Amino acid sequence: MENDRASQLTGRDLARYQRQIVLPQLGINGQRRLMSSRVLVVGAGALGSAAAAYLAAAGVGTLGLVDGDTVELSNLHRQILHDEAHIGWSKTQSAAHRLNVINSDIRIQEHDEFLSSANALDLFANYDLIVNGSDNFPARYLVNDAAVFLKKPVVDAAILRFEGQLAVFRPGLGCYRCLFPTPPSPGTVPDCAEAGIFGAVAGVLGSMQAVEALKVLLNLEESPSSAFLIYEALASRWHRMPFHRDPDCLVCGDTPRITALIDYQQFCGLGSDRTQATPAAASDAFSVTAEEAMRMMEDPHLTILDIRDEAEFLKGHLPRARQCSMEELDAPTFSRDMPVLVVCAAGVRSAYATQYLRSRGYEAWSLAGGMRTWGGAVSAVAIQERTRR
């Protein structure tokens, strides 16, 4: 039915979508393609709200929403598809109600359930593209693996505090596991309730997910290479880190060792209860404290990379550190035989960079807390040394 609807644009369609139809990269054929497309949004929360709203407005013919949660008051500062009148509703019902108000001509499919190994493949098989706004690590690895097995593109994003991350994983060009082969240890990444989230950041990242999803559906990508983007709201800055498919990846590599969905709660070191909400961020399994970094710096062969921008670097940096942008990590000029310490302002960007370098065979470590903790730690050590004397 969606294909028949898309093949016969009406005057109403031309009026609704005229501002994007006039784009030479889209046109009437592009609009038809959108109207015949099927997109599944995993998570009708903060990211899913912004992404789904713009996909609906653009005329994506079928939008699926999968989420087993209900609307709470604490959701409303960032989950813009929901409002006070919908507290207590299922999130899929609330989101569908709002999306139908935005565009009554599209089809909304509600999947009022949590994504699991039991239902993921059946759900994904009915859609062309997956927009992942899940908020816990088991779900992220589940989304990734199911999409790889079914050769579905994934537009992935995550948020925490004032930062966000975004990546598009296309079949054959790398997956989430290529960047993050293993999840962080339980309890090492705070959830939104503990760490907080700046609500508008969700709007930025969710809107970007819609942009990237529409580009995939319309074949508008300017470059076939993949990139991992990090957004810093306080600095109004984006960082781009290229990445490649890992031939040794357990799921999408040359000789995959995971060929079926697994127990993702167990894989992430969690119990059988529903996973506590935790935004995806780089694992700190390879982070070192300032004191440990000082000991590492006794090694003259240690390479110290400061991935802050030049202005930040010039304000102060570690001895022997060299300023290195995220983009430069794609063509490093340092040896794989020497350890690498990666430094940034707060330890977030460096954790991502460390994961990336390790995926390429480097013995890389991230300075936990970044330069914000370095000065205090150095002062504390100096005081201890004077006390001993």
Which residues are the active-site residues? 192, 344
CA distance 201 to 120: 28
* Contacts made by residues 24-32, CB under 8 angstroms, sequence distance 24+: 25/218, 25/220, 26/218, 30/218, 31/59, 32/6, 32/7
H-assigned helices in the chain: 2-7, 11-16, 18-21, 27-35, 46-58, 91-102, 120-124, 137-150, 176-179, 192-195, 199-218, 264-267, 290-296, 310-314, 348-359, 370-388
At 301, list the tokens: 């062969």
Could you tell me if 346 and 279 are in contact, meaning their C-beta atoms sit under 8 angstroms apart? no
CA distance 153 to 332: 28
CA angle (95 as vertex; 94, 101 as ends), nearest 5: 95
